[in-house]
Structures are given as C-alpha cells and as structure tokens.
A and B are shown apart, each in its own frame.
Chain A
Amino acid sequence: MTDPSLATSVEPGVGVASGGPAAGKPSSLWGDARKRLMRSPVFIGSVLYLLVVTSMALFPRLWTSQTPDTCNIRNSRNSPELWDHPFGFNLLGCDYYAHAIYGARPSLAIAVLATASVVVIGGLLGLLSGFFGGWLDAILSRITDIFLSLPFLLGALVLLAIVSKRNILTISLALIVLGWTVIARIMRGSVLEAKNLDYVHAARALGASNGRIMLKHILPNAVAPVVVYATILLGGFVAAEATLTFLGVGLQPPAASWGVMIAMHQIYFAQQPWLLLFPVGLLVGTVLSFILAGDVLRDALDPKLQ
C-alpha cells in the first residue's frame, strides 16, 4: 500500500498478514489486488490526494511558513490575497491558509488513532468470537448488540458531554467505544466463513495450535473485508470529528481543525463564503478519497470479479 495513513490503520493487527501472502507469490489475492489498484485512476487519484493531506498533517511547515496563531484582529475576515494569503484571514485575523494546513493534523490524527484502535479491538473480538464460537461467541455477540443499540451520534454526544476535556484523545475514545462493533461483526462473519475451509482442516490435522491456525491460516484470508471497511471508516471518522466539533462537543477553538474552521465561520456563509468553501472542500475531498479508495479496494479484493 502506498498510502501511509492507510498502512498505519491496518498495521497493528494485520500488517504481517497483508504483507505476507503477497510477497513472492505473484498470483495471490493481495498481489492481484495490487495490480488492479495500480491500474485504477480513481485509486491513484485518491491516494495522491490523501498523500498531500497526510503531508500537511505530518509536516505543515512544508506547505506554509506562517502559523495559525499569529493573528491580527484588524485583518478579521479579510478577503484572499493571491500570494501572501491565498485563503484570506479567519475571524480572529489569522492567516486562513495556515489554519487550513495545520487543521489537517487533528482531523487525521483522530481518524487514524480511532480506526487503528477499532481495527485492533474489533478485529480481535471478532476473531475470537468467530473462531471459538459457543458461549464466548454468544457473550461477545450480545455485548456487540448492546453497543450497537447506541446510535453513533447520540452515543458520542452522551460520552463527550460527560468528559470535560475535549482533545484528540477523548474524541478518539468516544469514536472507538462506539465504532468497534461493526468491525467485530465483519471479522466474525469472515472468520466463520474461513474456518471451515479445507486448508484449515488440513492445518488442524497436522497438529497446528489454535493460535497458529488463527494467525497464519484464518486471519490472512479473513482480513480483506476489514481492510476495506477500515479505509471507508477513516473517511467516516474525519467527518464525525467535524460533526462533533460543529455540535460543540468536539475540539475547541484554540485548536485548529477543519471542524473548528467550519463551526467558527458558518454564520458568515452569506458574506464570506470562501471562509467555509476552503475547509469544507478539504474535508469533503478527504472523506471522498477514503471512500473511493475503499470502494476500489473492495472491487480489487473481490475474487468473484477476477
């Protein structure tokens, strides 16, 4: 995978698995998928866009020499000037372009942190529940049901209403608590499908331990749908952060994020539409790229289409 943010989201639990079968065996699922992905202009385009956004998040100084906290209130909501201030100034008179560049970091950090944790937690629970079945599965499935019965946005509102400190960690925590369920279900489903295949029986007959069967045989073959969903989830979490911030339970103004930019300026839409155009454009572009990349990935990993 060329996209660093995608790689980080998948790495903790399954990095070995996704790299393993592709290496050395040209006709494996992941090898084929890679070839298809390289041929898809939509995938290349989304990954390039995400690379740009990721570089903003990692190295904002690469993109701007200004910072979003050197402000002069006299410049409040001034229009864009082509070279010095291409995005104009925000409500507090800070350079809006710098604000937008620095805003990438919290948005992406929350999305990557939450997705990575959700994949690890949900993936592990789904794997155990699908593999062992029985009472463990019954209990884990009921717990999943309980968390699923809390609608996402309502649950996040309740959770964030009770913590007084809203920062990257607490917001990610809210997303993790409510987000792991779907991954667990997907993982459970694909483990159930994989565990009755012949090669798993063969491995068991050869005396492989449960742990080895799970990690070496089932996981690599069950992980594809999770990777696809995790990619789309990254986009979903970027949007969720902005929505929570907009509702006033997300990041608060001294922090620079796209959600903060939108929430701060939404009442000026009629007078200075560009104040919303830039952050909304970046936000929608990022969410769109994750969703498109996930879509192409799903098609590339679907053996029925090969």
Chain B
Amino acid sequence: MGTYVVRRLLQFIPTTLGAIFLLHYLTSLGIQLTGNPARALFGDRRPSEAQLGALTEALGLADPCLTRTGDPCVGLYFDRLQKIFLQFDFGINFNRRPVTDIVADALPYTFKLVVIAIIFQAVVGITAGVLAGLRAGGFFDYFVKVSTVLLISVPVFVLGFVVRDIINVNVGNKLREAGTLPDWFTFGVMSPVYKPDYPIASLVVPGLVLGALSLATTARLTRTSILENVRSDYVRTARAKGLAPKRVIGVHTLRNSLIPVITYLGVDFGGLMGGAVVTEGIFGVPGIGREIFRATISKEPSVVLGIVTLLVLVFLIVNLIVDVLYAVLDPRIRYD
C-alpha cells in the first residue's frame, strides 16, 4: 500500500509538469503564429511603441522567444512554473485582473453545477445500472440500454438548448401563468437562465443537463460490472453458504462492482469541466466555463492558459485522490 501511494505520488510530479508544459507550448505557439495578442486590445488604433511595450510587459508576453516560431520558450516555462508554485500566480487578463481572482469569483457557480451533476449521475446512474444488471435481459434492462444509447448520442449542446427551449421556456411559461406551484420552482428551477435570486434552484436544470451524458456511461459501466461480479465465484460461495440475497448483493457484489464506477466518476471530472463550458454558455451561468469561453473568443491566451492550467491541476489532484482511494478499497491494486 505504502509503496503504491509513493509511486503514484512520484508519477504525479512529471505528469503535472508535462501538462503545464504542453499548455505553455500550445499558447506560445499560438502567439508565435498569430502575433502579439496585446495588439488586439487597441483595435484599429495604432498604439505607440511605449504603450504597447508596457502592456506586453505587464501581460508577461515580452519575452523575445515569443517571436520565434517553434521555439518552446523553456525560460518562460520555468518562470511560469516558479510563479505558479511559489507565488500562486496564474497571470492577469487585459484589464490587469489576476486570473486567480477571476477563478475565485466564478468557481462557486461551477462547483455547485458540477456537484449537482455528479450527485445526479451517481445516484440515478448507479441505481439504474444496478437494477438493470440484476435483471439482465428483462424489460428494465432493455429500457436502460435504449435510453442510455440515446442519451450518449445526443451532444450536450443539443440537449441543453432543447431542454431550455422546450421545458424551461414553453412548459415553464405555462406553469408561471398558472401560478399554482411555489415561486422557487416556477421562477427558479424552471428558469431558462441563471438567476442570482435562486442561486441553487436555477442551477438544477443546467446541472442535470451536464450530468446527463455521464449518467448514461455510469449506468452502463455499473451494469456491466454487476453482471460480471454476479457470475463470479465469491458471489456463488456467498449464496451457497446461505447469506440473505440482500447481503450478497448489497455488501459482496456492490462493493466490488462500484470500484470501476468510482474511478470513472473521478476521471469524468475533466469531462464535466469541459461540458460546463457548453452548459454554462447555454444557461447563462457566470461560472468558469463561461470565463474560458469569453477568453477564447476575445483572444486572451494568458487567461485561457491560466484558467485551464488551474483546472488541470485540480483535475490531476482529483485523479490522484481517486487512485489512492482505489487502492484503499481494493487490495488487489496494491500489488499491481
């Protein structure tokens, strides 16, 4: 166990440095190919050399290696690492606002959104998967199979605006006119855009949309895993020695079957962060996804780089925790 955790921790370091380098190289390459992004801030006016130079310097884009196409800018990379790990500085945007500030403002929304999505996919997905796996070949199994395939093949953005326009706008308007249901439901949950007055209620539908895709994968994974374990020897032994079916399923089968599912939920965190870009855009949630999207469109590479680096760090740490938990849950892993 100890060696496994240590080895996993040692792997974490090169992966993190590599991921930051990859992001750094991509943005550097972008600047080398398309020119100084600070210029975009002036529109068609021509800034004086001094003005442009000062802004470029402030944005940390003054390094001459950014003008040599293909140069990996190793010096800049080490500067960046130093800033990230020693000063917790992820850069600033065009208005000189630190990226950490932007993220701190936007994070609570995205966090709530992702939590709603994970709860939704874990509870509904695992329940559906377990029920389908226990009665493989039955009606419910078939139903889960068909509905999950349908869910997987609908891209998040299509699901997002269909739900928004049909349920939140059309059905919502009828409910709001009728006025029989409480306000938090008709104006909060059924609101097509995020409303600060209902900070949790109006995030429910975007959260469900965000979780829908992974819900399907969770359900299928659980089903397969249950099917495999139900047929295994140790379950037969448990049955043969006369344990109650509830205990056989609830303790023996479920514990082993959920291991791959939990790993998936951890890995899927990255997918949810990406999905949040789409969902937050559609439902107007002022979260991190929207900030990334805005920075992409307005061509602020330092902001995109800063936020994505921060997210990748979080993602890697979540994966690390999941992997360590995995070893705690499953003794077989430690000898791997």
Contact = CB atoms under 8 A, between A and B. Distances in A.
Interface of A: 142-143, 145-147, 149-155, 157-159, 161-164, 235, 239, 242-243, 246-249, 262, 266, 269-270, 280, 283-284, 287-288, 291-292, 295
19 contacts: A146-B14, A149-B16, A149-B270, A151-B273, A153-B275, A154-B273, A157-B296, A157-B304, A158-B296, A161-B30, A235-B153, A242-B157, A243-B156, A246-B155, A246-B278, A269-B165, A284-B153, A291-B149, A291-B152
Interface residues of B, number: 50
A218 B119 CA distance: 42
Interface of B: 11, 14-16, 18-19, 22-23, 26-27, 29-31, 33-34, 149-150, 152-158, 161-162, 165, 169, 270-271, 273-275, 277-278, 281, 292-293, 296-297, 299, 301, 304-305, 308, 311-312, 315-316, 319
Contacts, number: 129
Given A151-B273, A154-B292, A243 B155 contact: yes
Nearest to B12: A145
A2 B55 CA distance: 59
Contacts of B296: 157-158, 161, 249
Given A153-B277, A247-B281, A280-B162, 13 more contacts: A146-B15, A149-B270, A149-B312, A151-B273, A152-B274, A154-B292, A161-B296, A162-B29, A242-B157, A242-B158, A270-B169, A291-B149, A292-B149
Given A154-B308, A247-B278, A247-B293, A284 B154 contact: yes
Contact of B277 (A145, A247, A287): A247
Nearest to A279: B158
A262 B277 contact: no
A199 to B, nearest CB: 26
Contacts of A152: 270-271, 274
Contacts of A283: 155, 158
Contact of B304 (A161, A242, A269, A295): A161
A3 to B, nearest CB: 17
Q: Which 10 A-B pairs have the closest CB atoms?
A: A162-B30, A153-B274, A151-B270, A146-B18, A288-B153, A287-B153, A161-B296, A239-B155, A151-B274, A149-B19
A43 B81 CA distance: 51
A159 B296 CA distance: 10
A288 B14 CA distance: 38
Contacts of A159: 26
B15 A162 contact: no
Contacts of B149: 288, 291-292, 295
A154 B169 contact: no
A76 B232 CA distance: 62
Nearest to B298: A161
Given A235-B153, A246-B157, A154 B14 contact: no
Contact of B278 (A151, A163, A243, A280): A243
Nearest to A280: B158
B80 to A, nearest CB: 15
A262 B158 contact: yes
A213 to B, nearest CB: 26
Nearest to B293: A247
Nearest to B28: A162
